[in-house]
Amino acid sequence: MEPDESPDGSPTHPVAEHSPVPGKKFPAEVSADLPARLAPLLASLGRVIQGKEEVLRNAVTCLIAGGHLLLEDVPGTGKTTLAKALAVASGLGLQRIQMTSDLLPQDLTGASYPALDSAPDASRGRAHFRFLPGPVFSELLLADELNRTPPRTQSALLEAMAERAVTIEGERHPLPWPFFVIATQNPIEFAGTFPLPESQLDRFMMRLSPGYPHRDAERQLMRDRRSRDPLDALIGSASAPSVRDAIRDAMAAVDHITVAEPILDYLLDLVAATRTAGAPHLDQEVESLRTSPFLLGVSPRAALDLDRAARARALLEGRDHVIPEDVFELIVPVLAHRLVPAEAGYDGRSDSASLLLQIIRTIPVPRLSRDGAIER
């Protein structure tokens, strides 16, 4: 959900007036040129998915934060195209699997089969087995229409996302690094689908909805697609190997982005406000949120994801520290899909986003001075 807009069309939100001039000084462990090294990735994505800069930036933020991404929208809005473009432009190895109702866990993870070139093991009375990895053994896995596959297969993906490894017949097999899952689903069509359980939704760092393009972007899209597929221009891109290295460096550099204590308190207050029990240390205005509009608040994993995503956003913006705007801009993408409204309408997830925005506007925002000092 977009923040409110001012009359001139610029976004306005509680942290805008508190954001200082972004700092450019990085600690020794962080390469100051990472934003420039990642710029070709964003530019390439923008040539394929036009008019969706915020969605593309959040997708890259999720990638370098080491999370997983859920793309949820109606058919034809570019969910699969975005995943393909991200794989091609980044140089990451892509595997795509269509999540159908007859898909088995081993179709996703792989399985052990008798080795054709081996004789039976006399000491054990059986043939040797060889593990053949499935599509999950990739750097970027596109799970198309995830909610069309049954819970048993969904749970196989859950282990891979959580553990960065799969266990086959008692043997653990680590996955490549980086390992980034992009799953898509249609929120409107319910026939023949298996809704994702809360435990699996919690494994996705972000949920993004590309939405319909603006008129000018759609006009340009129609012109571009008359003669060629924009993805074709990205294939074999000379910048892909360097972008791949930049992604790896950025994932490591996120650990060194600093979060001041007042910013961390702000993040924790936001998380606590979603929970039914409330938070005893909040002021009287926020105490009214003890009766939460959600049946289920966000988990500690969600707080960790919001913290890491905010640090990744700061790095992408060229800063070595998190400011309140980093947290605010990512609250809905990181938290909304994990919340269950007490009174859900037709689209409960959308309701959770609007309720979440109502809550966060009551949380006091840390103030940042021009010299970077933080006051609560």
Q: What is the CATH number of the domain that holds 273?
A: 1.10.8.80
For helices 79-90 and 240-253, angle between their N-to-C axes, nearest 10 degrees: 100
Same domain, 289 and 320: yes
Amino acid making up residue 50: Q
Helix locations, the chain, DSSP H: 34-48, 53-64, 79-90, 105-109, 151-163, 198-201, 215-224, 230-234, 240-253, 261-272, 284-287, 300-316, 324-335, 348-360
Torsional class of 366: left (φ above 0), alpha (ψ -120 to 50), beta (otherwise):
beta
Same domain, 109 and 127: yes
Question: Residue 64: is it exposed, middle or buried by C-beta count within 10 angstroms (0-12/13-18/19+)?
Answer: buried
pLDDT at res. 357: 84
Alpha-carbon distance of 205 to 302, in angstroms, equals: 7
If one compares 143 and 281, the residue with the highest pLDDT of the two is: 143
Look at residue 11 and tell me if it is in a domain: no
Q: Up-side HSE of residue 29: CA atoms within 13 Å toward CB?
A: 10
pLDDT at res. 55: 92
Alpha-carbon distance of 231 to 244, in angstroms, equals: 17
Same domain, 66 and 117: no
For residue 345, pLDDT over 80 is answered with no
pLDDT at res. 236: 56
Look at residue 123 and tell me if it is in a domain: yes
| Interior/surface letters 350-360, b for 16+ CB within 10 angstroms, e for the rest | bbbbebbbebb
If one compares 20 and 162, the residue with the highest pLDDT of the two is: 162
Residue 185 · residue 196 · CB < 8 Å: yes
pLDDT at res. 305: 95
Q: What is the DSSP string of 37-57?
A: HHHHHHHHHHHHSTT-HHHHH
Residue 144 · residue 98 · CB < 8 Å: yes
Q: Please count the structural domains in the chain.
A: 2
pLDDT at res. 187: 77
| Four-CA torsion 299, 301, 305, 311, nearest 10 degrees | 110
Alpha-carbon distance of 111 to 174, in angstroms, equals: 14
Question: Residue 298: is it exposed, middle or buried by C-beta count within 10 angstroms (0-12/13-18/19+)?
Answer: buried
Same domain, 166 and 189: no
Q: Up-side HSE of residue 222: CA atoms within 13 Å toward CB?
A: 6
Give the CA radius of gyration of the chain.
22
Q: Up-side HSE of residue 272: CA atoms within 13 Å toward CB?
A: 19
Same domain, 265 and 348: yes
Q: State the sign of the Cα–Cα–Cα–Cα dihedral 309, 313, 315, 321.
A: negative
**pLDDT per position as a tens digit, 199-242:** 888 899 999 988 787 788 778 777 776 667 766 666 656 566 78
Same domain, 316 and 185: yes
Look at residue 143 and tell me if it is in a domain: no
Same domain, 337 and 195: yes
Residue 91 · residue 243 · CB < 8 Å: yes
The residue behind tokens 């795509």 is: 96
Same domain, 122 and 184: no
Residue 352 · residue 253 · CB < 8 Å: no
- Cis omega (within 30 of 0) for bond into 178: yes
Look at residue 330 and tell me if it is in a domain: yes
Q: Which of 45-54, 183-192, 249-258, 329-338 has the lowest mean pLDDT?
A: 183-192
Q: Which of 62-71, 151-160, 212-221, 332-341 has the lowest mean pLDDT?
A: 212-221
For residue 376, pLDDT over 70 is answered with no
Look at residue 9 and tell me if it is in a domain: no
Same domain, 321 and 214: yes
Q: pTM value?
A: 0.81
Same domain, 124 and 87: no
Look at residue 7 and tell me if it is in a domain: no
| Interior/surface letters 107-123, b for 16+ CB within 10 angstroms, e for the rest | bbbbeeeeeeeeeeeee
Same domain, 296 and 194: yes
Look at residue 85 and tell me if it is in a domain: yes
| DSSP character at residue 369 | -
Same domain, 58 and 193: yes
Q: Which domain does 133 fall in, by range?
A: 101-137+150-172
Look at residue 2 and tell me if it is in a domain: no
Mean of pLDDT over the chain: 78
For residue 68, pLDDT over 80 is answered with yes
pLDDT at res. 373: 60
Average pLDDT over residues 135-163: 87
Confidence label for 59 from pLDDT (cuts 50, 70 and 90): very high
